[in-house]
Chain A
Amino acid sequence: MAELPILSIEEVTKNFAFQGSTVTALASADLTIRKGEFICLIGPSGCGKSTLLRMIAGFETATEGRLKMWDKPVSGPGPERGMVFQDYGLFPWLTVSQNIGFGPAARGAGKAEVAKTADRFTAMVGLDRFRDAYPHQLSGGMKQRVAIARVLANDAEVVLMDEPFGALDAMTRENLQAELLEIWAANKLTVLFVTHAIEEAILLADRIVVMSPGPGRIVSDETVPLARPRDPTSPEFNALRRRFSGMLGSHH
């Protein structure tokens, strides 16, 4: 314990009231995340991975246990924990560059500073040509680039991603995965990435946290021992895929 973890989740339980009875979405989860780590949460639906992410984002509160960032309890959503949703959640009335500048503007940055920040991050995700386009004019992949850029433009230290590439076609997904890894490395981000695609998790993660339903819980947490960049066709990659696949299959 040399360094303070950026996020610590201690014995967190989340119960929902559902039709008069209590359902446990997540039971006594423990997870420690250090700055700069890329963590994938993987598991079948109902395993509580999205619930855990939404609690870290501050959209939900834990029934029991503690969630802390830099040792301070998480209370509600905040710009230091940016979220990227599967359905984008862009503001349809704002252009690409206004969406990207939304966070700094909402937090009271000056006009010139907002414009400069928006320009920088619009360029980072390669959307200069579309800076004045509205969301409904963009493809899914472009929308998700905007969603990532607006979180980074807002100085998010932790980026929470809830199946962000799940609605995209295979080619776009591969491109965005590669871009995300570049951005992650260049900006020393901490990423929590929820997915149900095993290959995606092995490709992206430093650590893969496997979860299981009924009640939702963490069943394994292990480091991916492959050097980057990773080759999905290598025998080592395949061996990992087989192992995680077996692990997930046995918990269905």
Chain B
Amino acid sequence: MTTLTGRAASARQAVLAILVPLAGLLAWHLVTSGRPYSLIPPPAEVAVQLWDLAFGGVWEDAFSATLLTHILASLVRVYGGFALAALVALPLGMLIGRVRVVRELLDPFLQILRPVPVTAWLPLSMIVFGLGPRSAFFLVFLGAFFPILLNTIFGVRNVEPRLFEAAQMLGVSRQALFWKVVLPASLPSIFTGLRLGLGFAWVVIVVGEMTGVQTGLGAIIMEARQLSRTDIVIAGMIVIGVLGFLSDRIVQLIGQHLLRWSPQHG
């Protein structure tokens, strides 16, 4: 819809969406600016710091113009861990969902692992993978793994039985049912799992990068905290928020394209 009403509706949406952040920014400004000993820097200072972090030229310290390096380091870990999680969780979820023996073998074990928070794995992961990026990578993998796995299992197990009958009476063999029916029918659930998994990957990356890692958005936040550079801490938080949001939007757009047929997605 490119009609006037469509455009007016999206303008209204944009205005509503920006109202609360603006109010928050204003409150932050009013509470922090003009106080010489505020522990929390005002928004203007954070903005300057964010600029320096990205392009340099203001403070010219160890943090100046390093943002891109940190972003790239975190992106590689987020998408690498996420991709690996998807690579393992998708086929495993399909097997658990469709093959009874595999389900009976693995499901109870996975149900016990599931409630363990990803952060509780940190000490163990540091022992196994050492201090450093490999440990962060593992945590991201773990964080993305369970949402993808559980939604894949749910998707392939909840195919409407009628669709199997319909496909069979149209001449689809038993062996071909998986590709012709199960996979397309479970795509919406699988997609939800991927989206949740990527979201978790962004949450977990910061925790993973907080110990023994030199680069990454989590590392920069941790280092700035130790130097009491709260302006950098907040700048890092903002960058993570924006990147996570953009990453989710991209996935959503892909989903809307692939799942045009689904009333919940299209």
Binding site for B on A (CB under 8 A): 57-59, 76-79, 81-83, 85, 87, 89-95, 102-103, 106-107, 134-136, 150-151, 154
Of all chain A residues, which has the CB nearest B166? Answer: A89
B166 touches which of A91, A93, A107, A134 (Cβ 8 Å) = A91
- Pairwise interchain contact B171-A103, C-beta atoms closer than 8 A: yes
- Smallest Cβ distance from B263 to chain A, in angstroms? 5
- Pairwise interchain contact B162-A87, C-beta atoms closer than 8 A: yes
Q: Roughly how many angstroms separate A95 CA and B167 CA in the complex, as a whole number? A: 15
- Pairwise interchain contact B166-A94, C-beta atoms closer than 8 A: no
Residues of A within 8 A of B263 (CB): 136
Kindly list 11 other residue pairs between chains A and B, CB separation below 8 angstroms, not including A79-B171, A85-B166, A87-B162. A77-B168, A82-B169, A83-B166, A89-B162, A90-B166, A92-B185, A93-B184, A102-B167, A107-B171, A135-B261, A136-B263
Counting from the closest, the 9 A-B pairs by CB-CB distance are A89-B166, A103-B170, A79-B171, A77-B168, A134-B261, A77-B169, A89-B162, A93-B184, A136-B263
Q: Roughly how many angstroms separate A85 CA and B165 CA in the complex, as a whole number? A: 10
Residues of B within 8 A of A81 (CB): 169
Q: Roughly how many angstroms separate A107 CA and B266 CA in the complex, as a whole number? A: 29
B163 at the interface (CB under 8 A from A): yes
B260 at the interface (CB under 8 A from A): yes
B171 touches which of A78, A85, A87, A91 (Cβ 8 Å) = A78
Residues of B within 8 A of A87 (CB): 162
Q: Name which of B170, B172, B187 has the most chain A CB atoms within 10 A of its CB.
A: B170
A83 touches which of B169, B171, B184 (Cβ 8 Å) = B169
**Size of chain B's interface in residues, with CB distance under 8 A?**
21
- Smallest Cβ distance from A8 to chain B, in angstroms? 20
B262 at the interface (CB under 8 A from A): yes
- Smallest Cβ distance from B164 to chain A, in angstroms? 9
B176 at the interface (CB under 8 A from A): yes
- Smallest Cβ distance from B172 to chain A, in angstroms? 5
- Pairwise interchain contact A89-B171, C-beta atoms closer than 8 A: no
A-B contact pairs, 12 of them (CB 8 A): A57-B169, A59-B165, A76-B168, A78-B169, A87-B162, A91-B163, A92-B185, A102-B167, A106-B171, A106-B176, A150-B170, A151-B169
Residues of B within 8 A of A76 (CB): 168
0/1 interface trace, chain B 154-185, chain A, CB 8 Å (1 if under): 00000000110111111110001000110011
Q: Roughly how many angstroms separate A13 CA and B85 CA in the complex, as a whole number? A: 51
- Pairwise interchain contact A94-B170, C-beta atoms closer than 8 A: no
Q: Roughly how many angstroms separate A102 CA and B168 CA in the complex, as a whole number? A: 11
- Smallest Cβ distance from B189 to chain A, in angstroms? 13
Q: Roughly how many angstroms separate A70 CA and B184 CA in the complex, as a whole number? A: 35
Interface of A is mostly: loop
Q: Name which of A83, A90, A92, A150 has the most chain B CB atoms within 10 A of its CB.
A: A92
Of all chain A residues, which has the CB nearest B266? Answer: A134
- Smallest Cβ distance from B234 to chain A, in angstroms? 45
- Pairwise interchain contact A102-B170, C-beta atoms closer than 8 A: yes
- Pairwise interchain contact A154-B171, C-beta atoms closer than 8 A: yes
Q: Roughly how many angstroms separate A57 CA and B260 CA in the complex, as a whole number? A: 32
Residues of A within 8 A of B261 (CB): 92-95, 134-136
- Pairwise interchain contact B170-A82, C-beta atoms closer than 8 A: yes
- Pairwise interchain contact B260-A77, C-beta atoms closer than 8 A: no
- Smallest Cβ distance from B38 to chain A, in angstroms? 55
Of all chain B residues, which has the CB nearest A150? Answer: B170
B170 touches which of A59, A79, A135 (Cβ 8 Å) = A79
- Contact flag A106-B167 (CB < 8 Å), given A89-B162, A93-B184: yes
0/1 interface trace, chain B 246-266, chain A, CB 8 Å (1 if under): 000000000000001111001
- Smallest Cβ distance from B44 to chain A, in angstroms? 50
- Pairwise interchain contact A89-B163, C-beta atoms closer than 8 A: yes
- Smallest Cβ distance from A160 to chain B, in angstroms? 8
Of all chain B residues, which has the CB nearest A91? Answer: B163
Of all chain B residues, which has the CB nearest A103? Answer: B170
- Smallest Cβ distance from B52 to chain A, in angstroms? 50
Q: Roughly how many angstroms separate A252 CA and B184 CA in the complex, as a whole number? A: 44
Residues of B within 8 A of A103 (CB): 170-171
A106 touches which of B162, B163, B172, B262 (Cβ 8 Å) = B172
Q: Roughly how many angstroms separate A154 CA and B169 CA in the complex, as a whole number? A: 10
- Smallest Cβ distance from B178 to chain A, in angstroms? 13
- Smallest Cβ distance from B179 to chain A, in angstroms? 10
Residues of B within 8 A of A154 (CB): 170-171
- Smallest Cβ distance from B167 to chain A, in angstroms? 7
Q: Roughly how many angstroms separate A77 CA and B262 CA in the complex, as a whole number? A: 28
B180 touches which of A83, A90, A106, A150 (Cβ 8 Å) = A106
